[in-house]
Amino acid sequence: MTGSPAAQHQLDLVPDALLAGRAADGDTAAFEALARRHGPLMRATARRLTGSLADADDVVQETLVQAWKQLDNLRDPAAVKGWLLRIVGSRSIDYLRKRRNHADLDDAENLVDHHARPRPEDPENNALSSSRVEALKAALAGLPEEQRRCWVLKEFNDQSYEEIALTLNISADSVRGRLARARVTLARRMEEWR
Amino acid sequence: MNTPRDTLDCGHSLAELSAYLDTGQIADPAHMDSCPECQAGLASLRNLSALGKDLLRSDVTDAGSGNDDWMQSILDNLQLELRPGRSIPLQSDHPDDTLWETEGSISALIRSVVDALPGTAAGKCRLHGDVTTPGAGITVEVEIAVVYGHSMEERAGQLRQELAQTLATHTELAIEAINITVTDVLEAPATPTTPSTMEEQP
C-alpha cells in the first residue's frame, strides 16, 4: 500500500473522484485521504445532528466503516462527498433513535447552546457576525427536534427533500412543511435579534 | 398545517417561499416577483440561509483538521478489511504446491509504479481478462491524473513501458495491452513547502 509520506502528501492533491476510484480498488491510503479531507465536515454535521462531539466521532467512524463496505455501489465517484454526508445523516439519526431508548434526551451540547446569549452590543463587524452565528445556534437549539433535523439535513448535509424523507422515514411533504416551519421560526428569531 | 403567522397578507405562505428557495418553483411566479411581502419574506429566508452557511463554516472550523488526533484515532479504529479481488495462480516448482497472488496486490503494484512517476497519480485500475487461468491474455486499464505542464503522450508512453516491465518482472500475467487514460489534469501546487513527488525539477 502507498504509505510513504510523499505518497500521502500527493494523495492530498488529487480530486475526490480519483481517490474514490482507488479506494474502491482497495487502496486504504486513498480512503484515508478522503476521510481526512471530508472528516471535519462530517464531524460538524454529525455534531449538529446528534448534539454531542463524542457521538459525532462515533457517527463518523460508523460512516467510514459503511462507506468502505459500500464504495463499490457508488455510481459517480465525483459525488463521494455528498454520498458520505448522506451516510452521516442516516447514521446520526440512527444514533439519536438508539439514544432515545436510553431515556436521557437532554444533551449537554444543546444546553450549552441555549446559554449562548446573543451580544447585540458588539461594535465590530467580525464580532457581530460571529455573535449572529451564536444567536442562530441558540435559536436552532430551541427548535422542536424533528424540525431541527430537517433543517440540518437540508442546510448542512445538503440533502434533497426525498433524501431527508428517506433518512427520517417521513413523507417528502412532511419534510417540506417541517423545513418551512423551522426556517420561519429561525428567521423570526434572527430578525427579532437584529 | 399553517398557523396564521405563516401566511402573508398577500395570501401566500412562507412554506411556499421556503420550497421556492430549494426548488425554484412556485405556483404564481408573476405575483411573487411584484409582491413586496413575498420579496421581503424571501429576503429574510435568504439571509437565514446565508447565516446557516456561516454557522456551518464556523462548525467545520471548530471540528478541527482531518490531520488532527481525533481523525487519526477514528482511522486507527477502522480496521478496514482488505479487498483481495480474484486469486491469480502462480507456477510452482512442485506440483503439490498451490501458489497464487491476489488481484488487489497487482493493482497496488500498478498504483505504486504510477505514483512513483513525478507529477502523476493513479486512479482506478482494472485487469480485464480471465486472470484465474494461467496464460490467458490480460488487458490492463489504468486511469491517471497528471500535473499540468507534463506532456501527456510522453507520460503515458513512459508509464506503459514501466508498467510492462514491472508486470513482467513481478507477475506471470500475459499482458496483451496496457491502456492508460488521463482523467484529470492537476494544478501544480502553488508554493510547495514540503518535498513532494508531484513537483518535478526541470
Extents of the domains making up chain B: 4-63, 87-186
B-interface mutation test, from A85, A133, A173, most B Cβ less than 10 A away: A133
> Under a CB-based contact definition with an 8 Å cutoff, are residues B88 and B101 in contact?
yes
* CA gap B56, A43 in Å, rounded: 11
Q: Which amino acid is at B180?
A: I
Residues 151-170 of B with CB under 8 A from A: none
Task: Mutation target for A interface from B37, B83, B110, B147: give the one with most A CBs within 10 A.
Answer: B83
Contact B78 A137 (CB under 8 A): no
Contact B1 A177 (CB under 8 A): yes
Four-residue CA torsion sign, A119, A109, A91, A96: negative
Q: Where are the alpha helices (DSSP H) in A102-156?
A: 108-115, 125-141, 145-155
* Eight-class DSSP state of A122: -
As given in the structure block, the three cell numbers for residue B25 are 418553483
If DSSP codes are grouped into helix, strand and coil, which group holds residue B125?
Answer: strand
- Please tell me what DSSP assigns to residue B119: T
CATH code 3.30.70.1290 for B87-186: no
State the number of CA atoms in the 13 A half-sphere of A92 facing the CB: 32
B191 shares contact with chain A (CB less than 8 Å) = no
Distance from CA of B137 to the nearest CA of A (A): 21
Break chain A into its structural domains and give their ranges.
1-105, 107-194
B193 touches chain A (CB under 8 A): no
| % of chain A residues with pLDDT over 90 | 67
Whole-number Å distance between alpha carbons of B140 and B124: 11
Q: Tell me the per-residue pLDDT of A87-146, one tens digit each, with 9 for 90 and over.
A: 999 999 999 988 877 655 444 444 444 434 444 444 455 666 788 999 999 999 999 999
**Rounded-to-integer distance, Cα B110 and Cα A19, Å:** 15
Residues 6+ apart with CB under 8 A from B165: none
- Which of the four CATH numbers 3.90.1300.10, 3.40.50.300, 3.40.50.2300, 1.10.1740.10 does domain A1-105 have? 1.10.1740.10
Count of C-beta atoms within a 10 Å radius of residue B151? 10
Q: Measured between alpha carbons, how far is B12 from B31 in angstroms, rounded to an integer?
A: 10
Complex-level ipTM beyond the 0.90 threshold: no
Please state the pTM of the whole predicted model: 0.83
Supply the pLDDT for residue B123.
94
B171 touches chain A (CB under 8 A): no
Mean pLDDT of chain A: 85
B107–chain A Cβ distance below 8 A for any pair: yes
pLDDT for position A119: 42
Residue of A8, A12, A14 to mutate, testing the B interface (most B Cβ within 10 Å of its Cβ): A14
d(CA B142, CA B144): 6
Per-residue pLDDT of chain B (202 residues; tens, 9 = 90+): 444 456 888 888 888 899 999 988 888 888 988 999 999 999 999 999 999 999 999 999 999 999 999 999 999 999 888 888 899 988 888 888 888 899 999 999 999 999 999 889 999 999 999 999 999 999 999 999 998 887 888 889 999 999 999 999 999 999 999 999 999 898 876 654 444 444 444 4
Q: A107-194: what fold?
A: Arc Repressor Mutant, subunit A (1.10.10)
CA distance A100 to B176: 59
Are residues A47 and B63, on separate chains, in Cβ contact within 8 Å?
yes
Any CB–CB contact under 8 A between A103 and chain B?
no
| pLDDT tens for each residue of A35-58 | 999 999 999 999 999 988 899 999
Residues in chain B: 202
- Mutual angle of helices A28-50 and A145-155, in 10-degree steps: 140
- Residue A6 above 90 pLDDT? no
pLDDT at A12: 84
